[in-house]
Amino acid sequence: MIRLHPSSVTEIAQFCTFESLSDVRNFIIPYSPDKHLAEMANPKRVYLSIYKQTQLVGFIILALDGEKSVECRRVVVAEQGHGIGQAAMLAMEAYCTQQLDRHRIWLDVFAFNTRGQHIYQKMGYNPFSKTEFDGKPLLLMEKEL
């Protein structure tokens, strides 16, 4: 069973370890511990830890965007291919509507991350724009809740 809870600064070292995993680091821009600490202190950021039973297996970073939207900045899961990320995304969507009163989630995914795009589309996220980061194309996707 997957559950989310607000993250603690004591989990930052583990977040950095997760971000350095080969299955993860090619799809994100890893943060330093200081960057995570600064982001956690930002009132417009929400860090959610992903637990499988009692084990920390990942985290999500949300950025409050306007009155009714939230940007899903990051979903990092240590164990790929077991449905943990999808279960965490569903739990995050419920958290956004129930705890944050947000009814639109948007995210970006690198254009080369076809697996990520497939998963997001399967979960109901639709492309709405394109941009780039450091010369790498990004696809922007959204879902109305």
**CATH number, position 68:** 3.40.630.30
Is pTM beyond 0.85? Reply is: yes
Reduced to 3 states (helix: H, G, I; strand: E, B; else coil), residue 8 is coil
Q: Which two tokens stand for residue 25?
A: 């680091």
| Contact criterion met (CB below 8 Å) for 16 and 31 | yes
Reduced to 3 states (helix: H, G, I; strand: E, B; else coil), residue 11 is helix
Domain-embedded: residue 134:
no
Query: Which residue, among 128, 70, 120, 63, has the nearest Cα to 90 in the 3D structure?
Result: 120
Domain-embedded: residue 136:
no
Q: What does the pLDDT look like over 42-101, one tens digit per residue? A: 999 999 999 999 999 999 999 999 889 999 999 999 987 789 999 999 999 999 999 999
Query: Which residue, among 48, 118, 59, has the nearest Cα to 84 in the 3D structure?
Result: 59
Tell me how many domains the chain contains: 1
Domain-embedded: residue 61:
yes
